[in-house]
Structure 1
Amino acid sequence: MVRKPTLVAGVDSSTQSCTVVVRDAGTGALRRTGRASHPDGTEVDPEVWWDALQAAVAAAGGLDDVAAVSVAGQQHGMVVLDADGEVIRPALLWNDTRSARAAEDLIAELEPGDAHRPGPTAADRGGGSGRAAGRTAGAGRAPDRAVDLAAGRAAWAAATGSVPVASFTVTKLRWLADHEPGNAARVAAVALPHDWLTWRLAGSPGLDRLVTDRSEASGTGYFDTARGTYRRDLLGLALRRDDAARIVLPRVLRAGEAAGTGDPGLGLGHLVLGPGAGDNAAAALGLGMGPGDVAISIGTSGVVSAVSPHPVADDSGMVAGFADATGAFLPMAVTLNASRVLDVVGRLLGVDHGELSALALAAAPGAAGLTLVPYLEGERTPNLPGATGSLLGLTLASATRENLARAAVEAVLCGLADGLAALEDVGAPVERVRVIGGGARSEAVRRIAPTVLGRPVQVPEPGEYAADGAARQAAWALAGTVDPPSWRPAPSRTYDGEPARHVRERYAEVRHRHVASPHAR
């Protein structure tokens, strides 16, 4: 009798959609997939994620024959719950920049002495138990007091591994405290998108059953990534509350630890639930990344991430010192503007992505001096949430469709090249660079990337790497082993080209001029 393979499912609940993959737990072979869209916007009712997850599961053939599932999700999104487990208000997503002022205030309010305050006890690594956080740092302080911001950035980097920007959950909680104090006072638990979806799969069994993993916790802004503990004093600082010890935070599971089982009432009682992960950490797991590997993901955002055996703390704020899904670390530089820059320029030119790629490749490197500063939604790296984009170097000679297409591709890649350089500056090992995401489907991106980055790049065949990583994590939780299962990596193609240093130099020159201009502040 031939034994049927054990199947596992991975979920990627991203900004734009929910994707489900079903794979063989032993080999990683893909069996089936499903997808459902999410609505546009930066403020979303989490219930639509749950609806999309159910639709994507149905499109993937259901979970009746699946043994385990794990959820990867967009990072940083703020899901606040009341004492009954009800969502208090729509979630604020990572790309909602209304909390930019809150980020600046939090940086100003943290004093150097607060950076090394004792962390919570082992009992307080999640859940609502544990000792009180002591005084709430910043309680009663005026948010506009004069403080050395450089010292504040250093204090945050020492405390959490990262300097808060508008994307982080901690800044959104401060925005909530300042603009919706009634809602802030009702907060009994704070979760991130993947935490909440895993909890829903378990049947919403009570706030004390919320779970997460290090990769997601490290992106909140109130988690000490190096030590693996929550910083409730920083949570209290954000919410302007002195009872932060009473707020439930998801219990941080070990890498590969099972989160429990699915809800029998939903027909999911047979499922082992994995801990889940942030989308970039899941993608790293799906790619099989190890120390020295770098992934450049070109999607809604642009992400440069490197697996490091050691924690990273960058007080410039260029690099966020996150954790990965295996027990290592995942320092990361993120741009808000990536594939949608190509979308916009394509619409302006009236062409699809294939035609935009052909136009870009028809232009010479440097686009005859035409340079796009692509801060169409503000920017995170560098931290300029109020910035707008600029098109510079427009002349009779440079004003062609081909040059505009080339300038768009080069702009996206120059921003990511800055992120890669920042990772190297903080000591992250960089040996092999892979380009993934929707933007990597562009032939122009693949061919221009090595000329802008100044090194060869590998482009794996297109795939749903965050969902794949979640599926691999589900197989890991099911097996209960020390290490994740070994799955065959996706085949890739290497691209190389002559470095075009003048492109980076020109971009750096106009970006510096742009950053110094009044409208960028």
Structure 2
Amino acid sequence: MSHTLVAGIDTSTQSTKVRITDALTGEQVRFGQAKHPDGTSVNPEYWWEAFQAAAEQAGGLDDVAALAVGGQQHGMVILDRQGNVIRDAMLWNDISSAPEAADLIEQFGAAPAEPGEPAEQTARGKERWVKAVGSSPVASFTLTKIAWVAAHEPDNAKKIAAICLPHDWLSWRIAGYGPVAEGEDAHLEALFTDRSDASGTIYYDAAQNEYRRDLIALALAPAYDEHVTPGADCAHVDTDSAPQATAHAEAIVLPTVLGPRDAAAVKASHAIAGKDIEGGCILGPGGGDNAMASLGLGMAVGDVSVSLGTSGVAAAIAENPVYDLTGAISGFADCTGHYLPLACTINGSRILDAGRAALGVDYDELAELAFQAEPGAGGITLVPYFDGERTPNRPDATASLTGMTLKNTTKANLARAFVEGLLCSQRDCLELIRALGASIERVLLIGGGAKSVAIRTLAPAILGMDVTRPATDEYVAIGAARQAAWVLSGQAEPPAWQLTIDGVDTAEPTPAVYEAYAAARG
């Protein structure tokens, strides 16, 4: 495989990236990128056009022996019998379905409490969802979006012949399939996915490797209830609609869930890639972006990545399923056969932007000020829930500064409080994951926020352990390429590509800082 090329595709919210990679070493050979339209709902055809443009920019795919697609999770793509997209895909960041998420929780909690279950209905509903599929409904997840379509666009809901995710749909197109004329076979059964992306739908149980069509029927029921006005509260749907919704859910085509190194079927005589390769290009199962990034980082059991972007994401590799009965941790699967418990904060590196704006400084000046203050910021604590928060689940919260006196209210202490507040919010995520039994032996710090010298310097003290900083790179695309090389090789384990480490930061732990933060946030 020394001269064999594979391609990793990253179809994210913002763009499609194509990374042509040496299958033996993991080194980048060529690269292309094309943007997607802005918005929280997008016509998937834009992803197809962006893929083609990015592939061309990357020098084409004729010499590529295998490829795989990593993609933004949770997006809802619904197709009719001819393979046409019924409506624009609702993306993970479309929060229209928040009321439907709450309704689904209430429906699950409606039955009387069993021994050991919470007495309060909402808590009981969340616990039952976690036990069923590993996660409790929030507006991000695919099933809540299906419920939104059923409640607001019942005619569209009734047309659904297949449901898939962004990476599933793009992979299906790359495999040679797509919309067909009336009466022709669109081969919806050729749709495929993997455990990691399927686990983000909340109608797939990764532990049992099975779809829960009964949950899809629950979401579809409002479309068949004549007593429900489109857009109305659908917490209590007429039971007469259940048989129709159940029959529809049973008939819907759901993507085949491939194993971590299974090859997908490619349409005969079709060649979007591998035209110069004997036998053509092999197509891997692909995966969700967080799981693909963990594969790109070479993460193993005991590793946790902390990604600081617009949001903050802490993801761990766990050998066994992880169930957080409060619903704070999402129990996803990874791309290797393990599990990926994940906590997400709405507020990420923008916390530093808020500090910069308040103090009128740039990033370096913010760091210089923070370093002038002692750990604990002279007693000032920032709870950084500027836009509400998901972990912990406080959607209506706002940020707060506490402990301020005339003596300690200095620019240095305020700067330090903003940096410590961001890191403490991520420590919350780590502690939740640790409390569920997942081992945390190494922390990998990635994302734009990792570029901050203040974050890099203070992270090990706040998180309580050394922090490893991989080089800035396209880890979703690298993970997809690594999967493609794995499928191509036929080996039991993925290729051992070298991870470039920019540094390992260490510092004396400052547990009192996190203790003060925990007390302030309550």
TM-score w.r.t. the length of structure 2 is 0.85
Q: Which of the residues 249, 254, 269 maps onto 2:254?
A: 249
- What code does the residue aligned with 2:437 have? G
Kindly tell me: are residues 43 and 356 of structure 1, through their superposed partners in 2, closer, same or farther at Cα, counting changes over 3 Å?
farther
1:70, 1:473 within 8 Å by CA — same for their partners in 2?
Answer: yes
Question: Match for 2:203 among 201, 207, 222?
Answer: 222
Residue 327 of structure 1: how far off its partner (Å): 0.7
Q: Map 1:57-456 onto structure 2 (within 5 A).
A: 57-110=55-108, 148-205=121-178, 206-240=187-221, 241-242=245-246, 243-261=248-266, 264=270, 266=272, 270-346=280-356, 352-393=362-403, 401-456=411-466
CA spacing shift, 1:265–1:64, aligned 2, 3 Å: closer
Residue 343 of structure 1 deviates from its aligned partner by 4.0
Shift of 1:113: 8.4
Tell me the CA shift for residue 383 of structure 1. 1.9
Instruction: Find the aligned partners of 1:21 and 1:265 in 2 and give their Cα distance.
Output: 18
- In structure 2, the CA distance between the partners of 1:178 and 1:390, relative to structure 1 (3 Å rule), is farther
Question: Shift of the alpha carbon at 1:325?
Answer: 0.4
1:301: Cα distance to partner? 2.5
Per-residue CA shift, 1:233-279, capped at 9, x if unaligned? 01111222222011111110011111234783646663221111111
- Mapped contact 2:468–2:501 kept (Cα < 8 A): no
Given that residues 316 and 342 in structure 2 are in contact (C-alpha distance below 8 angstroms), is that contact kept between their aligned partners in structure 1?
A: yes
Q: How far is 1:8 from its partner?
A: 0.8
Show structure 1 runs of 5+ residues with no match.
Answer: 116-145, 513-521
Structure 1 equivalent of residue 233 of structure 2: none
Q: 1:28 to 1:503 in 2, by over 3 A?
A: same
State the 1:211 CA deviation.
0.7
Kindly provide the amino acid, as one letter, of the partner of residue 212 in structure 2.
R
Tell me, what secondary structure is at the counterpart of 2:127? helix
Q: Is the 8 A contact 1:374 1:412 kept in 2?
A: yes
Assess if the C-alpha contact under 8 Å between 1:95 and 1:336 holds in 2: no
- The equivalent residue for 1:133 is none
How far does the alpha carbon of each residue in 1:395-434 deviate from its partner, in whole angstroms, 9 at most, with x for none?
5556555444433332222221111101111101111111
Query: Secondary structure at 2:3's aligned position in 1?
Result: coil
Higher mean C-alpha displacement, 494-503 vs 255-264: 255-264
Look up the match of 1:48. Answer: 46
How far residue 285 of structure 1 moved from its aligned partner, in angstroms, is 0.9
Alignment partner, residue 20 of structure 1: 18
SS of 1:411's partner is helix
Matching residue's letter, 2:85? V
Residue 234 of structure 2 aligns with which residue?
none
Deviations 1:451-505 (A, max 9, x none): 1111111111212111111110011122222221221222342111122333323
Moved more, 337-346 or 303-312: 337-346
Change (3 A) 1:509 1:257: same
- Normalised TM-score (structure 1): 0.85
Separation of aligned partners in 1, 2:56 and 2:96 = 35
Larger radius of gyration: 2
What residue identity is the alignment partner of 1:197?
Answer: L
Query: Which residue of 1 is the match for residue 240 of structure 2?
Result: none
> Aligned to 1:260, what secondary structure does the other structure show?
coil
SS of equivalent residue, structure 1 residue 32: strand
How big is the shift at 1:232?
A: 0.6
Q: Would the aligned equivalents of 2:109 and 2:123 in 1 still touch at CA under 8 Å? A: no
Aligned identity (percent) is 54
CA distance in 2 between counterparts of 1:367 and 1:18 reads: 42
Structure 1 residue 170, shift from structure 2 partner: 1.4
- Structure 1 residue 358: deviation in Å? 4.1
2:491 aligned to which of 481, 484, 488? 481
Partner residue, 2:231: none
Given that 2:61 and 2:272 are in contact with CA atoms closer than 8 Å, whether structure 1 keeps it comes out as no
Distance 1:346 1:246 in 2: 54
